Structure 1
Amino acid sequence: MSYMDEASIDEITQGWLTRNGINSCLFCGFQTENGVVYQHQGLLFEAAKRMSVHITEAHQSAAAALLAMDRRYTGLTQVQQEVLVHLQASSTDKQTAAKMGIAEATVRSHRFKLKEKEKQAKLFLALMAQKPEREKLVPYHEGAVMRDERYAVTEAEAEKILDTYLKEGREGPLSSFPRKEKRKLVLLRHLAEQFEPQRTYEEKEINEHLKQKYDDFVTLRRYLIEYGFLDRSRDGSSYWVKHTRPAPQDF
């Protein structure tokens, strides 16, 4: 699941969201549970504070993690991204210009453009909030390698596809594996959701699970990698849900 897709502006700003008492980091999937006290580096933390510490230790800050994201997600140019990095560090225009090797006037121009971009974003959010409700689209997963209308599918369509290929129920095997991209992606997403984020799997564990779903488990495994649902080590010995990492251990 893509936590970023369902997070509010405030949640993106802090770097995590809370759903059903579970706090999830938007950048790596690390989780804490409300009501649980966590021991970390000799100190005790409540769930929200432990998550805040994680954001600082693992990502420096939510702003730093957002700026480190691929520009296709932020919509920023490389220069705009660099200017924002220096703004986050409280650098003056003169300092920023010196570090970037550009004129102060150019830095001021970029700051102005970023301010305009902020205003436009606010208006766009207001407009989108007032649009008529339509069928919800299934959000792209974090590791999606293809993001265009060819792969857009509504929740109703996804349910119909699952019904077609999972004749023995959602936990049962696939009756066949489709060639059409939309159908393929829906089924791969369904399979990927059966693996735990933040956990590292051995190859044999992946194989055993996929064997129960379809005879040609090697093809399923390959597609899960190619379509960005799973990632693996260079030697192929370990696998994990892409864009999540095993949570750091607290002692």
Structure 2
Amino acid sequence: MKDVSELFWQASPAELKQGYRYDGAAGVYICLICGETFADGVVYRHGDLLYEARKYVAVHIAASHQSVFAFLVGLDRKLTGLTDHQKALLELFYDGRSDAEVAKELGAGSVSTVRNHRFALREKQKQAKVFLAIMELLAERAPKKSGFIDLPRGTRNVDERFAITAEENEKILAACLPQGPDGPLALFPAKEKKRLAILRHIVKYFDPTATYSEKEVNAILKRFYDDYVLLRRYLVDYGFMDRTADGGKYWIKL
């Protein structure tokens, strides 16, 4: 199965479609497929042509990974939910083949059979949209459990798996912050339950009534972890913080 980075799962649907995301703090475009970065303001050469970073990352994806579509379709069934037959159909549809050509290529029977496959895939798309909306509503509605530490309103993926007692919270902080609550982190935990405990602790170092620039956020996070960009992204992704569309201003979500 192809490896998929944590950055891949943090990306929005729009970023997944384009295959890269822009990190404003670091000033780089990041390929979501391989993690290679391209610095904003730098000119890159491909053959006889020169490209600015934003355009070059798309060139890189085409040259190194064929296409975003090819990468996504090639992911394991556990990640896509697609059978091998459905993947083959999608690849031919993506190439612009007619229903008759697809039927001949796959030996799929009649043209009407291929049309039925197209219909089934469109139905799968509709179901995915509905399921996503259901899970987001569920996350917002999940009941709080008495005796457990609460997460901020709007925090994603809040359910029983991530409920945590005060005692558990103290153990996690002691293990990850051996030099004390002010940092630095000895490690940033991979398990989501522990990760949320760390983020919940770190967000306390921000004034809930203040608005911060990206540099000010970074300055606070640096005391905890060298990869402050990762911490900042998680604080936003998990709903502890919010920001303007351009990433210029940050604030605590109450």
Whether TM-score is above 0.5 comes out as yes
Distance in 2, matches of 1:163 and 1:100, equals 56
Note the C-alpha offset of 1:134: 5.6
Higher relative contact order (CA 8 A, sep 6+): 1
Q: What corresponds to 2:123 in structure 1?
A: 116
Alignment of 1:128-207 (within 5 A): 128-131=135-138, 132=140, 133=153, 135-136=155-156, 163-166=173-176, 167-168=178-179, 169-170=183-184, 172=186
Distance in 1, matches of 2:124 and 2:20, equals 24
Structure 1: runs of 5+ lacking an equivalent: 139-148, 174-180, 187-251
Structure 2: runs of 5+ lacking an equivalent: 141-152, 196-254
Tell me if structure 2 keeps the 8 A contact 1:25–1:51. Answer: yes
Note the C-alpha offset of 1:85: 0.7
Tell me if structure 2 keeps the 8 A contact 1:137–1:155. Answer: no
Distance in 2, matches of 1:109 and 1:66, equals 23
For residue 13 of structure 2, what is the amino acid of its counterpart? I
Q: What corresponds to 1:35 in structure 2?
A: 41
For residue 173 of structure 2, what is the amino acid of its counterpart? D
Superposed CA RMSD = 3.6
Distance in 2, matches of 1:9 and 1:49, equals 19
Deviations 1:171-225 (A, max 9, x none): 548xxxxxxx959x97xxxxxxxxxxxxxxxxxxxxxxxxxxxxxxxxxxxxxxx
TM-score, normalised by the number of residues in structure 1: 0.56
Tell me if structure 2 keeps the 8 A contact 1:37–1:46. Answer: yes
Q: What corresponds to 1:87 in structure 2?
A: 93
Q: What corresponds to 1:10 in structure 2?
A: 14
Distance in 2, matches of 1:33 and 1:75, equals 35
Distance 1:156 1:120, change over 3 A: farther
Tell me if structure 2 keeps the 8 A contact 1:136–1:155. Answer: no
Distance in 2, matches of 1:130 and 1:182, equals 23
Distance 1:155 1:43, change over 3 A: farther
TM-score, normalised by the number of residues in structure 2: 0.55
Deviations 1:99-139 (A, max 9, x none): 2122133322211110101112222333444441564459x
Give the total of aligned pairs: 169
Distance in 1, matches of 2:33 and 2:171, equals 30
Q: Identity rate of aligned residues, in percent?
A: 35
Q: Does 1:106 align with 2:96?
A: no
Distance in 2, matches of 1:69 and 1:24, equals 19
Q: What corresponds to 1:25 in structure 2?
A: 31
